[in-house]
Structure 1
Amino acid sequence: MKCMNLYSLLLVVLIFVSCGSSNDASGMIAPTVNVSPTQVSATYEGVVTKLSITSDQEWTAFSGDACKEWVSCKTSGSIGTQGTVEVTVKANTSNQSREGEIIVKSGITRISIPVSQDAKPEEPVDPDIQVPEGYKLVWQDEFNNTSLSTPDESLWKYETGHGTDGWGNNEIQNYIAGSKDGVVCADVSNGTLKIIAQKVGDEVYSIRMNTRTNWKYGYFEARLKLPKGKGTWPAFWMLPDPFTSWPDGGEIDIMEEVGYDPNNVLSTIHCGAYNGSNGKQKGDGSYIATAQTDFHIYAAEWTEDYISFLVDGKEHFRYTNDKTGTATWPFFTNFNLKLNLAWGGNWGGAQGIDESALPATYEIDYVRVFQKNK
């Protein structure tokens, strides 16, 4: 009988505990939260909308990691039982749709509200633009926006100053952000960009500018007319973005030329195994008789297997991935494009400089980026 009574008592206790455990394993009661609407959809242009929240406890809301750069949340009434979340979805400037989530949290309750946004529609390609076979145009600057007299800073950013050790090359110029003290070194007019190296007092002002967008693999081209004069050193090239280290991070020089050796244009790559400073180099050049008087198209096709360099559509150098590792092939991360006009330096000033060549103008008709169709 005593055994039976003990058994009955234990059974009653178990039933009591079971009936009170509608909460989680820790014993905390999960608040009831309702959200309306249960998802957010936006066009590529972006949207500002509101979520209505009811909860029996204090709550909060925030963007998930996947969309925190383009979705923001502003809560109101979160310390009460009813409130709202103002959701702002920024415009999507890419040609790819994107997804994320808004998280509404109260106590141990966590609700995910899906967020989706359309891709920006692809703009019709100008029929005059020759698109490489198998590729599509993904980025361009034609420098023909008549409302701008300097480069579009939503597309480009400047690097300024003398750099460390003259940007690693003992260059003489002082790079400026478009203009300084009334001196303009980045001029957009008549459908082209002019990068102008100018003597100002004891200094030479010039321009070094990078695309704000970066890419892994693609077909990169620019139509360029090179400056004249001993001391000039124009370039159209690429570095990792974000930058890591040199030379191990890699460098892709689509076009370089120095004024003391006019019309000889070079294309090279730099990496841990081949970087010039170790006595080993990978690159080649072409003689373009009118490089300083006419426009020519300089391009690089970069794939996971090779980088091909072309002038006016003709390949003049190819570097192949030997599959031995990053010392010879660090070209598997995103790079951005760079345009600059250096003055002097280890290569540009190797045979001296002639200041009578200043001002010197490096003219860019367009820069275009293509990537393979998926």
Structure 2
Amino acid sequence: MSFFNQLKEKAEGLNRKHNILPIGQNSAPPQSYHQQQYYPGQQPYQSQPQPQGQGQWQQQPQGHWQSPPPPQGQHWQQPAPPQPNYSTRPGGPPPIPSHSRPSASPSVELSGPRIYWRPTFNPGIPVSQEFEHKQGHGDPWGWGNNELENYTSDNSNSFHTHDGKLVLRAVSQSQHPDQEARYTSARLVSRATLGRRDGCLTAWLSLPCAEGVWPAFWLLPREPFVWPHEGEVDIAESWNGDCENHSCLHWGFYNAEDAQKHLVRGTHIPDMPHRPIRYDFVWQCSGTGVRGDGKSEGGGRLMWYIDGRPVMKNLMPPGTRPIEDWTILLNVAMGGNVCQGKTPRDGAYDMVVHNLQMSEAPDGGWARFDHDWPHCVDGAVM
């Protein structure tokens, strides 16, 4: 089966699952596929006030990180030129609006597990040094989900800021005379792989929360790979501004035969639009073998954390790609099946990466991981 046919089958499967017709046609309201994740003995996830000090977040004022979009129906106008001297490279992108810029990035601890990969977010370094830009519409099926965006490598859609952040900016200009420019965004794939059989991937992210917008931080095997059988891990994703994070593991098609190969836990984060969130994905696969065809024998342990709390665990499925050969993806999608056919209002929607790193072990070491494992819930079948 060709890759595009696989994408088509995935899109059609999503349509059937959520009872969604192609964009522009009426359909019944979709049923939610995920299950809520509440921590043992606690109410649904609430942000807890933290003491001020090194390594702690400062509570941010109410408001969105991204620029608030203008009212619908506004005609496209030529955007203002970038502010001078913003970037050391000519033609650098405009800065994040001052009223929507997070006031501080998280402090980076100097002690703890050894960090073996951390990209540099510096305006003098092109984003393409650490990431490959995927480009285009993902034809013919809009990246498998009938999405609207045209991914570009333009530095108006992905750039480093002077204060050390990576920004992926989705721009909706529905009245733009050039159809290719009506919905633009960035989709980045790390040039580095996870590289180890045991480790921890950590990101501090501010996610855009708005109708028709779908930011994601996830993993796929290094190309070329066979989708979906070699696996997909979703660490942070939310859509339509519902403040619901979806931790997922996929290794099958969206059909009845593969129904057990889609595991998910939903975590409600009511203040998601107002502060950076810490996401950790931890893997421990050194005790697992590799089959003769190069695929994993399975059985390694995987665990997802949000703000330091375990929210989902699962064993590595057999037949997937060995974990050390997986790459990191960051993107902001718009519209399509997952957004239930909703489109974003005109404006800019920023996914801000405050820090991104891979460590040899999670915070607290493997002893903490062993302690968390029996107390964490398994992924639930979609």
TM-score interval w.r.t. the shorter chain?
0.5 to 0.7
* 1:44-83 → structure 2 map (5 Å cutoff): none
CA distance in 2, matches of 1:302, 1:251: 14
Deviation of the 1:346 alpha carbon: 1.4
Cα RMSD after superposing both structures: 2.6
- TM, length-normalised to structure 2: 0.56
C-alpha spacing 1:146/1:360, structure 2 compared with 1 (3 Å)? closer
SS at structure 2 position matched to 1:141: coil
Give the one of 141, 149, 155 matched to 2:130. 155
Deviation of the 1:330 alpha carbon: 4.4
Judging by fraction of residues, say which structure has more strand: 1
Give the one of 239, 264, 269 matched to 2:244. 264
* 1:233-312 → structure 2 map (5 Å cutoff): 233-261=214-242, 263-272=243-252, 278-280=258-260, 281-304=262-285, 305-312=300-307
Is 1:337 paired with 2:328? yes
1:168 is matched with: 144
- TM, length-normalised to structure 1: 0.57
Identity %: 25
SS at structure 2 position matched to 1:359: strand
Q: Which deviations, in whole Å up to 9, do the C-alpha atoms of 1:105-133 show, x marking residues without a partner? A: xxxxxxxxxxxxxxxxxxxxxx9534896
Contact 2:336-2:342 at 8 Å conserved across structures: no
Q: Which has the bigger relative contact order, CA under 8 A and spacing at least 6?
A: 2
2:114 is matched with: 136
Contact 1:243-1:249 at 8 Å conserved across structures: no
Contact 1:227-1:259 at 8 Å conserved across structures: no
Contact 1:142-1:367 at 8 Å conserved across structures: no
SS at structure 2 position matched to 1:219: strand
CA distance in 1, matches of 2:272, 2:185: 20
CA distance in 2, matches of 1:266, 1:248: 20
Deviation of the 1:362 alpha carbon: 1.1
CA distance in 2, matches of 1:131, 1:275: 47
**Which is greater in Rg?**
1
Deviation of the 1:221 alpha carbon: 1.1
1:186 is matched with: 158
Gaps of 5+ in 1: 1-126
For residue 142 of structure 2, what is the amino acid of its counterpart?
G
Deviation of the 1:243 alpha carbon: 3.1
For residue 351 of structure 2, what is the amino acid of its counterpart?
Y
SS at structure 2 position matched to 1:258: coil
Contact 1:142-1:366 at 8 Å conserved across structures: no
CA distance in 2, matches of 1:274, 1:238: 18
For residue 247 of structure 1, what is the amino acid of its counterpart?
P
CA distance in 2, matches of 1:277, 1:228: 34
Deviation of the 1:172 alpha carbon: 0.8
Deviation of the 1:333 alpha carbon: 5.1
Q: Which deviations, in whole Å up to 9, do the C-alpha atoms of 1:53-88 show, x marking residues without a partner? A: xxxxxxxxxxxxxxxxxxxxxxxxxxxxxxxxxxxx
Gaps of 5+ in 2: 1-105, 286-299, 366-382
User: May I ask how many residue pairs the two structures share in their alignment?
Assistant: 232
Deviation of the 1:208 alpha carbon: 0.2
Deviation of the 1:321 alpha carbon: 3.7
Give the one of 168, 174, 198 matched to 1:195. 168
CA distance in 2, matches of 1:351, 1:260: 14
CA distance in 1, matches of 2:212, 2:240: 6
CA distance in 1, matches of 2:255, 2:357: 27
CA distance in 1, matches of 2:248, 2:204: 18
C-alpha spacing 1:332/1:257, structure 2 compared with 1 (3 Å)? same
C-alpha spacing 1:273/1:198, structure 2 compared with 1 (3 Å)? closer
1:371 is matched with: 360
2:340 is matched with: 350
Is 1:318 paired with 2:313? yes
